[in-house]
Structure 1
């Protein structure tokens, strides 16, 4: 893993996509993956040069939604209206779901246009921290990570 990541990072920017990188980075550090030690958490402007860059879907969704409160991966999947997801907290599933969330948010229109398209009832130029209201959902039977988006607390 170390040689693969280091080699890819030398040839150009390497973007690692996480949903809250904290525990993944800890685990990779325990494996002495040197590329992780040099990972940057802020993307430079202009386009990055060779190196390792962290992409965090929690932060991207917070920016899209305009709310600082972090959301679980399962909740983001549901809010974005992605396909029916199940069996969260399985490494392979979570990796796939994280990538699908990233692709849904990163492709297409700029963030303000996406926000308007996703939440068309939002009127005018509201402050970026205005709380979004979501339709009430019922709990899926196999999802221990489920949170009702209409009742965040």
Structure 2
């Protein structure tokens, strides 16, 4: 029985099935990427959040917990756990104390850089498999469109 007091919303684009909507398709692609990365990174003794943290720190050494959390799409609390695990494994260092403020900048150790380099090959191969499905001339446009979608939702 339809509830006539609440008119049905019109979808933003035509789709025969709700699972064909853009949001579901993005989530499906994300889930496939995450599953492939989980499997590949397991062989390197890393989780996806740990790998992301190492990769961001390699590009931007010295970031704080909060900055790393934002860059890797996890909460500050989750990043604390990630950083502690990576530090306990000898993959990064953080000073015990800092002169000013509370931020303890993190840096990769030699072992962290070695582990990251080993894992990057597997992760980049996964990304290459995804990209193969997109004609070369369309990739830059797709990346721009994805960035545009993210900006549209920040407002």
Give the TM-score category using the shorter length.
under 0.3
TM-score by length of 1: 0.26
TM-score, normalised via structure 2 length: 0.25
| Greater share of residues in helix | 2
* Larger radius of gyration between Structure 1 and Structure 2: 2
Q: Which is strand-richer, 1 or 2?
A: 1
